[in-house]
């Protein structure tokens, strides 16, 4: 994890691209549909979540691609270090590089949709719970797509359907708060999905990496 974070710090273009894409996608909707406050407040949570999901997806190929090309990934699989450790570390670094900045930026994006303070808080909390799930599931899909012809298309076909439930519950939490309902059920489901992903996905990532390397 420390190695990937150092590389990201030395070459911050990926972080800047992810944040710029998120801001651009979220900012185009008000320009396209108009500036009616009620409409913007109604679609705001969903738009922010869609933008965050697509921005996080842009950073997925970089989790393993560079290490796969230069042979570092094969050395990791052969090293005596526990494979679950380095797999979890790389996924954690991906979330810190992409998911965490998106979460911190979401309240600023939400202001242009006229969202209230409570809704902005719930939106950020849902992203804090949901973006790690995106990194975990996306990491497994990125490992499976390594070295495959048309890997980008394969990654999209594998990852995007898995992201849909996270999108539904994440956007649903903020929408519930905005309409006066309790967001707790949506947040609880996201927390349960995060726990399940933390337990099961790193092992799946290791297995997928070994398949791709072999």
pLDDT value at residue 59: 82
Answering whether pTM is above 0.85, one says yes
Q: Is 75 helix (H, G, I), strand (E, B) or coil?
A: helix
pLDDT value at residue 197: 92
- Token pair for 165: 């439930």
pLDDT value at residue 151: 66
- Half-sphere exposure at residue 47, Cβ-oriented, CA atoms within 13 angstroms: 26
pLDDT value at residue 198: 92
- Token pair for 141: 């899909």
pLDDT value at residue 18: 86
pLDDT value at residue 150: 62
Extract the residue ranges of the chain whose pLDDT is less than 70: 147-151
What is the length of the chain?
A: 214
Could you give the percent of the chain with pLDDT greater than 70?
A: 98
Q: Where are the alpha helices (DSSP H) in 34-183?
A: 37-58, 65-70, 72-78, 83-94, 100-111, 117-144, 151-178
Q: How many domains does the chain have?
A: 1
- Token pair for 175: 């929408």
Q: By residue range, what is the domain housing residue 40?
A: 2-213
- What is the per-residue pLDDT across 16-61, written as a single tens digit (0 to 9) for each? 888 899 989 888 888 877 778 888 888 888 899 999 999 888 888 7
pLDDT value at residue 42: 86
Contacts of 133 (CB under 8 A, 6+ apart): 166, 190, 193, 194, 197
């Amino acid at each position: 994890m420390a190695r990937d974070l150092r590389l990201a710090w030395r070459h911050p273009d990926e972080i800047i691209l992810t944040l710029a894409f998120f801001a651009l996608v979220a900012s185009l909707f008000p320009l396209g549909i108009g500036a009616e406050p009620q409409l913007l407040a109604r679609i705001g949570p969903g738009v922010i979540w869609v933008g965050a999901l697509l921005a996080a997806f842009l950073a997925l190929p970089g989790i393993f691609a560079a290490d796969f090309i230069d042979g570092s990934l094969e050395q990791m699989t052969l090293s005596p270090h526990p494979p679950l450790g380095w797999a979890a570390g790389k996924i954690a670094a991906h979330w810190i590089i992409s998911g965490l900045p998106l979460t911190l930026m979401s309240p600023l994006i939400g202001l242009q949709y006229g969202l209230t303070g409570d809704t902005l808080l719930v939106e950020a909390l849902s992203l804090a719970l949901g973006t790690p799930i995106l990194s975990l599931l996306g990491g497994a899909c990125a490992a499976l797509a390594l070295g495959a012809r048309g890997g980008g298309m394969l990654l999209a076909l594998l990852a995007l359907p898995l992201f849909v439930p996270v999108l539904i519950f994440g956007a649903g939490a903020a929408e519930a708060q905005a309409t006066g309902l309790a967001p707790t059920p949506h947040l609880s489901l996201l927390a349960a999905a995060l726990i399940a992903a933390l337990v099961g996905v790193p092992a799946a990532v290791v297995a997928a990496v070994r398949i791709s390397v072999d």
